[in-house]
Amino acid sequence: MSSVTMKVSGMTCNHCVMRVVKALKELEGVEDAKVDLAAKTAVVTYDDTKVDAEDLADAVVEAGYKVE
């Protein structure tokens, strides 16, 4: 398992947090996703044989947010 911390901008409320978590957890290989609204971060634990950090970032962008 691998872990990555991403800076996510554009989140303004808990609904945004839930959207980002849902987008990440829908990816095959994602074990866990914890999103912190105040810190504007997402910490994702994933199987790097099934998904990579670029796929994770793409999922966040598709959900309507920016990854810095």
Strand order in the sheet with 30-36: 30-36, 41-46, 2-9, 66-67
pLDDT at 7: 98
pLDDT at 23: 98
pLDDT at 43: 98
**Single pTM value for the model:** 0.93
pLDDT at 4: 97
CATH architecture label of 2-67: 2-Layer Sandwich (3.30)
With a CB cutoff of 8 Å and minimum separation 6, the contacts of 39 are none
Q: How many Cβ atoms from other residues are within 10 Å of residue 12's Cβ?
A: 8
- How far apart CA 1 and CA 11 sit, in angstroms, is 27
Model confidence over 4-51: pLDDT tens digits? 999 999 999 999 999 999 999 999 999 999 999 999 999 999 999 999
- Over residues 54-62, the mean pLDDT reads 97
